[in-house]
Every structure is written in structure tokens, then in C-alpha cells.
Chain A
Amino acid sequence: MLKYILSRIGAMLLTLFLIMSLAFMVVRLMPLSLFENPETDPEIQRKLEDKYHLNDPIPVQYFYFMKDIITDLNFGISVKIRPGLDVFNILISRLPPTILINFISLFISIPLGLIFGTIAALNRNTWIDHVISVLVIIFISVPSFIFGAVLQYTLTFAWPVFPTLYDSQAVTFAQKMHSLFLPIVALSLNPTATIARYLRGELIENISSEYLLLARTKGLTKAQAIVRHAFRNSLIPISNTLISMITGIMGGSLVIEKMFAIPGEGGLLVKSIFAGDHFLTVAVLIFYSAVSLVTILIVDLSYGIIDPRVRVGGGKA
């Protein structure tokens, strides 16, 4: 098991390293100097560029870039958005709302999706199943920003139940949730539906399988059999969809954050790209990549927990 975990972590780090290199290259391809400013003296501009090794050949720049990040998490200094501030600190300061909306969306959509998926599967071909299936297909198909716009128009403007903007001054968790409710709803509809759909399909397949029949014949009740066997086996393919779900949520939050004026990483990314704050862009990019890689890792490892075959197989490899 340990060997399996280590090999997965190794693979993840390698991928992260390559992503960092790629991000570096892409951002260096962008037109214009980082410190371009008509009002700055060219001499000073050159000095600034020297300071960040921008006048060195690309491989040397690359070396410094990697060295700074690996040795002391130094992603450089912001030059346009928050001049003088450490990029890493900016990243950290914008983390709370992003984590809140992304992770809460994820954490509420998993159980909700499981519940609806199970209900649909157990009531297969009844009206309950049909209603859930229709909702599922709607929530999967319609983009999150359409839901965002609808929710914003109806629940903050026409019937103002929720605040228009994110309130970072909210002290209690309940107050925070109140101002984040709509973005979270807009973001979690799609993953909830995705999970429900997968689980329904898997459960239906498993319920009609022979091993479940065996479980029933050995005396388990239907509920016991489903929870202990069918449900558990259905979770394996579902954990695979988690990866795409998380990238989906993160992508969706770019627009949703903009829509609800939430000062999170998504807004920071878009803003930094538009402002040409390259160090910041690279840092946020690496952050996003790291999050999705860690998710993949967690999913891989949880395979080991849920599915003994992987664990044993991993031992052999």
C-alpha cells in the first residue's frame, strides 16, 4: 500500500513539475515586457527586469524560476495587480472564498447526488425516477452561468432574499453561507446531477447482478444487500468522475465568481491574465493544477481503500 501511495505521489510531482515548466513557457510567450510602462525610465525598467532575471536567456530564467519556487515557495512579486506584494501571499489571501464555494459545492453535491441517485435507482421507472432523471439531464446540460444569472435575477433582484454581493465581513458561518448560497447552488447543480446519474446507472446494473442475488439468498434484506454490496461497488466508477467534476466546478467558479463579485482565485486569474501580471498568472495556474492533481491523487488513493483489487495490484507493481 505504501509503495502504491509513494508511486502515485511521485507521478503527481512529476506532472506538477512539467506543468510548471509549461506554464512558464506559455507565459513567457505573451507579448510585451512585464514592466512595460511608458512613464518608467528605460534604465529603471532594465534594472527591474534584471532583478527578475528577465534579460537572461530563457533556460537561465527557467532555472531561477524553478529554484525560487522549489527552495522557498517564492513565486515572485506581483507587478501590476498588487505591486510589491508577494504573489504567494496574494494567492493565500484570496483562498477562503474560493475554497468555501468550490469545496462546499463539492461536499454538498456528493451526498445529494448519492441520495438522489439511490432514490432514482430504487424507484426505477416510477414517476420519482422520471422526475429525477429529467432534473438530472437539465442540470447536467444547462451551463452553471445560466443558473447563476437566473438565480441572481430572481433571488437577489426580483425577490431579494439573498444579498447581491459576497460579504467578506460576515463573521459567523451562517452569515457567510447566506451571502454564498446562490453561487454554491449554481455551482453544485451540475455535479449533483452528474453523481446522481452515474450512481443510478451503476446501482441498476448492480442490483440486477448475480452477486446481489447471492447476497439476498444468503439472507440479507434488500436494503442490507444494496447498501453493503451494490452501493459500495457502484462507488468505484463514481470516484473516477470526481476528477472531471472538480475541474468542472473550478472552471465554473471563474464565471460565477465574476458574476457574484466574489474575490477569489478565479477572479484573480482572469484579472492577472488581463493585466499581464505574469508571475501571478503562473502562480494561480500552478495552484489550479495542484488542486486538480491532488484530487486525482486522492481519488487514486481512495480506490485503494474502496477497491481491494487496486491495493493488492499496487503492491505487486
Chain B
Amino acid sequence: MSKKLIALLLAAMMVLAMLAACGNNNNTNTNDPGNNNPTTGDNTTPADPTAKKVYYTYLTSDHANLNFQDNVDSPSETPAIYCMCFLYRSYPDESGLNFHYIPDAAAELPIQIDEHTWNIPLRKDAHWNNGDPINADTWIYSFKTALDPKLANRMGGNVANNAITIVNAESYMKGEGATWEDVGIKKIDDYTIQIITEGENSQKDVCNHFYSREKSPIYQPIYEQCLSADGTTSSYGADLDHWMGCGPYLFTTWDYDNVQIYTKNPDYWLADLFHWDEVNIRIVPEMNARVELWEKGELDDLSPDAKTIDMYIDDPRMVSYGSLSVYHIDINCKNPNNPICGTDAYRKAIYHSLDRETLAKNIFGHTKPAGWYVNEQAGLLSANGLCYRDSDPGNEVEDMVNSWGPYGYNPDMAWDYFVKACEEVNIDPETADITILYAIDESDTEWKACAEYLEQEWKTIFKGHMNLEIVAYAGMSATDFKKTGDDKWDLSPNDWSRGASRTYPYTCFYYYLSSYSGKPNNYTNQEFEDQYAYCESIKNGDYNTLLEETAKLEKIYLEHVIHTPVVQAVNYQLFSDDLILPVSTWVPGFGWGTIYGDKNV
């Protein structure tokens, strides 16, 4: 008997040993900074550990990989700005009210050769974390890979066309005839590259174009090692071992879905501009946990959501700033089970049935009601800085909307349009019993609350003849869900926004053009498309004319209710008292510049 007991004990001990082994395993996930950068040792951190400046922040989800040319998810922005170099990077002005571009891996600001040609001289001491130089070949290789038609990198389009449009780049990428030699990216010598653009651009546009994650360089030896045999996919950046950094910070620890730690790279050529010794980013998907960490002082910043904003509404540390996003609801006009979905009147009925003031205040948490779609930031970065919403044409649209009712809300009109829609398809509105499927992402609590609210409201507005049924989907994105069939949804919330609208207000309608492949609804309108094309053609002309044409575009949009706007989002942000920000206010196109931040220790 005792023998068996011993056997049992031994078995237990083995399991414990296994546990211990696994525990150790965990530590090896941490990448030793020495591996990545033999030139720096552990002596990078100041001798006194209490003087170490650490920026504690969070992300709501982790990035999937570090292949910035292919990764479309916004969390990958963070490792890119901390750990990569760019040709140019934005830097706050002395005033703290604005920003400008400074050369990063470039030696100086772009030099204009002629109308379409820019030369970018490169810094001779730029290098990867392992010491390998970054020169013209690096950049040419990176851009070529980004545009490679075989790889079809999902961010490649942004390299070809964003703030500037590079000649033939899109044609090369899509395999429409142009060869790499035709593309407007050339090597002049080892430390100069030349960019040829389609339109005429300012120096700022060129700098702006090259400061985003997909334009960071890639490390050729590792990239080629990670390339599949047929050259169609690359596992570059899948983990820290298959990736190389070159930025102000070293990516020392990446424990997926838990923590990212960046430590300062003293060998970086602009190291003096950066003050954090370490940036510690926790991945915290639950709002509760974020609030808890913030309350305990373990975070330096926090963005409250609709459910938590009430806690901090008076907090002097809280700042709010404008948002690019107008939350809206996409409308399916091809649902075979919904007889009235094809009519304009049906969409108008939905448009007028939304009590946007209540939704903005009570459901989306201190946002602004919006019966229109062009966002409040649109036009902010245009030549004369006039926002479309503050301009006369913009106000005229607002007045039109408000003449229907507060922010377009008018239950009587909604009912009338419903009756009209029914009559158009020969249904008696008094006997009609139409079910509208409202498809929401189960985890999206604000839209879910909105759906539940509307479900109840509509019972009164449409007198029980048009009812909302909530369809919650889990496990896929809205885009994926909509693809499962036109009969699966009628309404679906959306918050897509387009950064380009800060410069050209009309571009916020971009996603609703038939030419956009990922179009979130299935309604097309020729008048709308033509007006958009017209705006596009005059975008570099007189700004006030552009605003007027944009107003026309927005009116066409409202007349046909291409989708229905709900609220203008507002961003809220709390910063800890210790944090010293480089700007005194939120700067559009730049943000708070926390990467240049500092801390009272």
C-alpha cells in the first residue's frame, strides 16, 4: 500500500514539476532587449529605479501582427509609432496649439524639383535596431513590397494614394499594366529617393503621406525569410522574432492580449525628443477593469465610454474634443422579405422616427444629436480652416433638417412616410405587419441599447404596423454578417469615418459610392454619384464653392436617406495630473502627442 502511495505522490510531484516548467516558459516569452539590439545593454535604464519615467496606458485589444503593410486593425498603430521610424514624423509646435513635420529617417524636408517631383534626402545614420543601415534601398524595397501585386497587402492602397497620389502606383498594385519601373518612386542615389505625384501637392502633404504605419520600412532579410514560396503571403511580424524595429522605442515585451512594453531606444537618432523610459501598455477589454485601474492610479489616461461618462462628467481632468465619426444606421433596400424596403419613403420614415436628442443624451452618453452626416471636424484642416458645419452652406442644411423637427425627429412625418411607402407598393398601411430586422453586434452595448429603445418607440410611432426585431450576431463583423444574405437584415449600425474629410468635407460620403468595394449598404443613386464626382473634380478649387457643392451633396443624401445619421460622436479623455502633455489642447491630425509626453516624478 505504501508503495502505491509513493507512486501517487511521485505522479503529483511530476505534475507540479511540469507546472513549474510551464511557469518558466512564460518568462521566455519576454524578448530580451539584448536580442534585438546588441548595441544597447541593460544600462539604458537610469541607475535610480524611482526616477524611471513610465507611461502607463491601455489598449482595448491587441494587434494581430506587426506587418503594418497588411494589418488593417487600428491597434497596430501603437507599436508602429513607438517602434518604427518614418521618413517624416509630426512634432508639436512650441505654442502647444499646433504641429509641424520634422525629418525622421529623412535628412531634411522634401525638396520640390518640379510640379510633380519631390526629392527626399535620407539621413546617413539611420539604422535598424541591430545596427544595419536604413538607406534608399531599404525604402524602395519597403514601398515595392507594400505595392506588390502578388502580396496584395491590404494597406497597400494607402501607400499608393493617401495625402498624395503616387504616379502609376495603384495601377502597378492592381496589376493593370504598369510595371515597377513606371511607378513614381525612384532611387536617385544611396541616400536620396524621388517621388513623382499625380496632382500638385504641398510639402506638408508629402510629409503627411509618409507618416503612417504602412509607410514604415520593413527589414529585408527577415521579410524574405518569412515570404511564402509562391510569394503571395508573408508571416513577417507574426511575432517579435520575425520582425525588426527601428524607432524611438524598443519593443521589449509583447505578451499577446495582456501587455506590451516599450523601452527607450537610446541609439535612436532623435532619442532626445522622447522622454519616457518605458511605455507600459495593458490590454484591457473590459471597461470596468479600466475604470478600476484608473481609480487605483495605475493608468495615466482613460477614455470613458457611454456607461462611465457620468462618473467623470465634472472631473476637472476630463477633456473633450471633436470626433470624425457620425454614428449612423445603414439601410438594406433589397430585403426580399420586406415589401417596402425599396422605397424612398420607407427610408424617410426611418429617418424621421429617430429621437436623436434622447439617443445622444441617454444612450450614447453625452454625444451630440446629428440629423446630418458630414461630421463636425470636416474641413478643419482645409486651406482656410473653416469647418463645413460652421459654414453657411452647412448651416443651411442644418436649418432644413431642424425645420422637419428637432434634428429631423418627427413621428408624424415618419408615420406619413410609412403610409406613403405602403401605398407605393399597394399595401394597406392599416393592415400592414412589417418586421424590420435590426442586426447588431452582441458585444456592442450602446447600439444594443439603442435598438431596444427603438423597438419600444416604434410601437407608438408606427402603431404596431412596422415592428423592430433585434437580431444579435456574434462571431463576425457587421460586414461579414451582411454578406450572409440580404434577407438577414434591414438595419445595421455603423460608425465608419474618413480622415480625409478633415481636409475635404465631401469625402466622408466616400464609403457609400458604388465604386467602393466594401460598401456597407446596397443603395445606389446616380445623382449622388455624379455630385460626388463633381466635388472631386473641383476639390482643389475655391473652398467656398466646394462647401456649397458639398451642401448639395448632403441634400441629395438626405432626400434619398442613403443611410440615416444618428449622433455626432464626442471623444472624452482623462489624463492623470502627473502627465505633462506637449500640447495644451487636442490638435486635429496630431492628437495629444502622448509619445512626446513627460511625467512629474
Task: Say yes or no: A261 contacts B23, CB within 8 Å.
Answer: no
Name the residue among B1, B16, B474, B475 with the largest chain A CB count within 10 angstroms: B475
Task: Say yes or no: B152 contacts A168, CB within 8 Å.
Answer: no
Task: Say yes or no: B22 contacts A95, CB within 8 Å.
Answer: yes
Given contacts A39-B517, A164-B289, A85 and B239 within 8 Å (CB-CB): yes
Among A96, A157, A166, the residue within 8 A (CB) of B295 is A157
Task: Say yes or no: A96 contacts B232, CB within 8 Å.
Answer: no
Task: Say yes or no: A36 contacts B480, CB within 8 Å.
Answer: yes
Contacts of A157 in B (CB 8 A): 292, 295
Task: Say yes or no: A168 contacts B235, CB within 8 Å.
Answer: no
Given contacts A165-B284, A169-B255, A263-B256, A48 and B23 within 8 Å (CB-CB): no
CB-CB contacts below 8 Å: B1-24 with A: 1, 4, 7-8, 12, 15-16, 19-20, 22-23
Contacts of B16 in A (CB 8 A): 107
Task: Say yes or no: B293 contacts A165, CB within 8 Å.
Answer: yes
| Cβ-based interface call for A156 (8 A) | yes
Given contacts A84-B226, A169-B259, A263-B257, A276 and B475 within 8 Å (CB-CB): yes
Task: Say yes or no: A274 contacts B474, CB within 8 Å.
Answer: yes
| Cβ-based interface call for A317 (8 A) | no
Give the complex CA separation of A157 and B295 in angstroms: 9
| Cβ-based interface call for B400 (8 A) | no
Give the complex CA separation of A173 and B483 in angstroms: 48
Task: Say yes or no: A96 contacts B256, CB within 8 Å.
Answer: no
CB-CB contacts below 8 Å: A252-301 with B: 258-259, 261, 263, 267, 271, 273-276
Question: Contacting chain A: which of B25-33, B92-100, B423-431, B496-504?
Answer: B25-33
Question: Contacting chain B: which of A75-83, A112-120, A202-210?
Answer: A75-83
Give the complex CA separation of A310 and B475 in angstroms: 46
Task: Say yes or no: A83 contacts B238, CB within 8 Å.
Answer: yes
Contacts of B484 in A (CB 8 A): 31-32
Give the complex CA separation of A40 and B149 in angstroms: 11
**Least CB separation from B519: chain A residue:** A38
Contacts of A131 in B (CB 8 A): none
Among A80, A82, A261, the residue within 8 A (CB) of B258 is A261
Give the complex CA separation of A99 and B286 in angstroms: 23
Question: Contacting chain A: which of B64-72, B190-198, B300-308, B452-460?
Answer: B64-72
Task: Say yes or no: B479 contacts A168, CB within 8 Å.
Answer: no
Given contacts A99-B19, A273-B475, A305-B4, A40 and B152 within 8 Å (CB-CB): yes
Among A32, A97, A261, A275, the residue within 8 A (CB) of B283 is A261
Contacts of B483 in A (CB 8 A): 32, 36
Task: Say yes or no: B65 contacts A37, CB within 8 Å.
Answer: no
Give min CB distance, B357 to chain A, whole Å.
Answer: 34
Contacts of B238 in A (CB 8 A): 82-85
Contacts of B26 in A (CB 8 A): 96-97, 168
Give the complex CA separation of A258 and B443 in angstroms: 13
Give the complex CA separation of A48 and B233 in angstroms: 9
Given contacts A36-B480, A164-B298, A261-B289, A171 and B27 within 8 Å (CB-CB): yes
Among B65, B72, B237, the residue within 8 A (CB) of A39 is B72
Question: Size range of the interface on A?
Answer: 35 or more
Given contacts A32-B484, A100-B19, A164-B289, A40 and B233 within 8 Å (CB-CB): no
Task: Say yes or no: A84 contacts B283, CB within 8 Å.
Answer: no
| Cβ-based interface call for B476 (8 A) | yes
Among B64, B255, B257, B479, the residue within 8 A (CB) of A83 is B64
Give the complex CA separation of A240 and B564 in angstroms: 59
Chain B, residues 134-166, CB within 8 Å of chain A (1/0): the string is 000000000000000000101000000000000
Task: Say yes or no: A169 contacts B235, CB within 8 Å.
Answer: no
| Cβ-based interface call for A248 (8 A) | no
Contacts of B29 in A (CB 8 A): 93, 168
Given contacts A38-B479, A39-B518, A164-B298, A263 and B255 within 8 Å (CB-CB): yes
Give the complex CA separation of A302 and B4 in angstroms: 10
Given contacts A99-B19, A263-B257, A47 and B232 within 8 Å (CB-CB): yes
| Cβ-based interface call for A143 (8 A) | no
Give the complex CA separation of A84 and B19 in angstroms: 28
Give min CB distance, A41 to chain B, whole Å.
Answer: 5
Given contacts A38-B479, A93-B256, A169-B30, A261 and B285 within 8 Å (CB-CB): yes
Contacts of B27 in A (CB 8 A): 171
| Cβ-based interface call for A62 (8 A) | no
Contacts of A48 in B (CB 8 A): 232-233
Contacts of A36 in B (CB 8 A): 480, 483
Give the complex CA separation of A274 and B237 in angstroms: 23
| Cβ-based interface call for A315 (8 A) | no
Task: Say yes or no: A173 contacts B23, CB within 8 Å.
Answer: yes
Contacts of A103 in B (CB 8 A): 15, 19
Contacts of B234 in A (CB 8 A): 84
Contacts of B237 in A (CB 8 A): 84
Task: Say yes or no: A81 contacts B475, CB within 8 Å.
Answer: no
| Cβ-based interface call for A160 (8 A) | yes
Chain B, residues 204-236, CB within 8 Å of chain A (1/0): the string is 000000000000000000000010001011111
Give min CB distance, B10 to chain A, whole Å.
Answer: 12
Give the complex CA separation of A17 and B221 in angstroms: 41
Contacts of B154 in A (CB 8 A): 37, 39-40
| Cβ-based interface call for B253 (8 A) | yes
Chain B, residues 456-495, CB within 8 Å of chain A (1/0): the string is 0000000000000000001110011001100000000000
Task: Say yes or no: A82 contacts B285, CB within 8 Å.
Answer: no
Contacts of A302 in B (CB 8 A): 8
Give the complex CA separation of A252 and B412 in angstroms: 51
| Cβ-based interface call for A2 (8 A) | no
Task: Say yes or no: B286 contacts A261, CB within 8 Å.
Answer: yes
Give the complex CA separation of A166 and B289 in angstroms: 11
Give the complex CA separation of A228 and B2 in angstroms: 11
Contacts of A276 in B (CB 8 A): 475-476, 480
CB-CB contacts below 8 Å: A30-80 with B: 30-32, 36-41, 44, 47-48, 77, 80
Give the complex CA separation of A30 and B484 in angstroms: 11
Give the complex CA separation of A261 and B233 in angstroms: 32
Give the complex CA separation of A176 and B27 in angstroms: 11
Contacts of B256 in A (CB 8 A): 82, 93-94, 263
CB-CB contacts below 8 Å: A7-48 with B: 30-32, 36-41, 44, 47-48
Give the complex CA separation of A77 and B239 in angstroms: 13
CB-CB contacts below 8 Å: A152-167 with B: 156-157, 160, 164-166
Contacts of A107 in B (CB 8 A): 12, 15-16
CB-CB contacts below 8 Å: B257-291 with A: 257-259, 261, 282-286, 289
Give the complex CA separation of A37 and B71 in angstroms: 12
Among B22, B30, B480, the residue within 8 A (CB) of A96 is B22
Give the complex CA separation of A259 and B154 in angstroms: 33
Give the complex CA separation of A40 and B239 in angstroms: 23
**Least CB separation from A166: chain B residue:** B258
Give the complex CA separation of A276 and B484 in angstroms: 14
Given contacts A84-B233, A169-B30, A41 and B152 within 8 Å (CB-CB): yes
Among A82, A96, A164, the residue within 8 A (CB) of B23 is A96
Give min CB distance, A288 to chain B, whole Å.
Answer: 17
Among A39, A41, A261, the residue within 8 A (CB) of B284 is A261
Chain A, residues 82-114, CB within 8 Å of chain B (1/0): the string is 111100000001111101100110010000000
Task: Say yes or no: A85 contacts B235, CB within 8 Å.
Answer: yes
Give min CB distance, B235 to chain A, whole Å.
Answer: 3
A-B contact pairs, 27 of them (CB 8 A): A32-B484, A38-B517, A77-B235, A80-B64, A82-B65, A82-B239, A83-B64, A84-B238, A85-B239, A95-B25, A100-B22, A103-B19, A156-B292, A160-B296, A165-B282, A165-B284, A165-B289, A168-B26, A169-B30, A173-B23, A176-B23, A261-B285, A263-B257, A263-B258, A276-B476, A305-B4, A305-B7
List 6 tightest A-B contacts by C-beta distance, closest first. Answer: A84-B235, A38-B518, A84-B238, A263-B257, A96-B26, A263-B258
Known: A47-B230, A85-B239, A168-B259. 15 other contacts (CB 8 A): A32-B476, A32-B480, A38-B517, A41-B152, A47-B232, A48-B232, A82-B65, A83-B70, A84-B234, A96-B23, A164-B289, A173-B23, A274-B474, A274-B475, A275-B475
